[in-house]
Amino acid sequence: MVANRALARVAVAAACLAAVPALPGGVAPAGATTVQVAAAASVEPALRELATDFERASGHRLAVSSGSTGKLAAQVAQGAPFAVLLAADAEHPEALEKQGLAVAGTRVTFARGRLVLWSAQPGLSLGPETLRAGRFAHLAIADPDVAPYGAAAVAALRRLGVYEAVAPKLVRGESVGQTFAFVKSGAAELGFVALSQLGAAAVGSRWPVPEELHPPLLHQAVLLAKGKDDPAARAFLAFLVSEPARAVLRHFGYTVP
C-alpha cells in the first residue's frame, strides 16, 4: 500500500512538472543536474521526502545545506553557491531580493509553520502553566537573532508574561534543528521546536503554541542569483508549489496556501 501511494505521488508529481508553467525564463531540463538548496532546519524533515519525489519525477538531484535562516542568508551574501533558498520567514528572502542576490518575482510562500512546546517525555500535560510554574532546569529555543522559530518562541514567552522568569533557564541552539536535538537527547527538558520536526508518530509530549502569540511563521522560497540560469532550480520551485509537494508538506504539519 505504501509503495503504491509513493508511486502514485511520483506519477502525479511528474505530471505537475510537465503541466506547471516554468517560472520566468525557465525551460524544460535537458539533462539531470544537481540543485544546490539552502533550507531552514525546520524544513529539512519534509525536504527529505520532497527531494526523493522531485528527483524521481524530474531526474534532477538536490544537494541540501540546512541551518538557521539567518545564517543561510548570510552565506548567500558571502557568495555561497546556492541556487534556491527555503526560508522559515519572508523577511530574509525579501532582503536578498532587494540586495540583488535573489531573482525578482520568484519569491513564493510555500508553507506556514507551527511552533510547538515539546518534551521527549511522554504523558506530560504541557501549556502556559508549565512555563509559569518553571519546574524545569533548561528550556531550549533556537537563536532568535538568526532563527525565525527562536524569534517566535521569544515573542510567545513575552506575550505569556514569562520571559523574564525563564530567561536564566534558556538554552539556545544555533537553529531549530539543534534545539530539537537538545530536547531529544535530554539536555533540555523542554524546548520550542517546529511541528514539522515531530511527525505524527513522534514520542513525547507537545503543546502547539497558539499562533496569535507570535508573528506568523511564513516559509518562503526564492530563486537565488546563482540559480538564475539553472532550469533545474526553476523546476524545483515549480514542483514546490505543486499539489504533490503540498500533500507532503501537509503531512509534516504545515499549512499550505
Structure confidence by residue, pLDDT tens digits, 74-125: 999 999 999 999 999 999 999 999 999 999 999 999 999 999 999 999 999 9
Tell me the C-alpha distance between 75 and 224, whole Å: 12
pTM of the predicted model as reported, rounded to 2 decimal places:
0.86
**pLDDT, the chain, mean:** 89
Output the pLDDT for position 202. Answer: 61
- At 87 the pLDDT is 98
pLDDT of residue 257: 86
Q: What is the pLDDT along the chain (257 residues), one digit of tens a residue?
A: 333 333 334 333 334 444 333 333 334 445 689 999 999 999 999 999 999 999 999 999 999 999 999 999 999 999 999 999 999 999 999 999 999 999 999 999 999 999 999 999 999 999 999 999 999 999 999 999 999 999 999 999 999 999 999 999 999 999 999 999 999 999 999 999 999 999 754 689 999 999 999 999 999 999 999 999 999 999 999 999 999 999 999 999 999 98
pLDDT at 199: 78
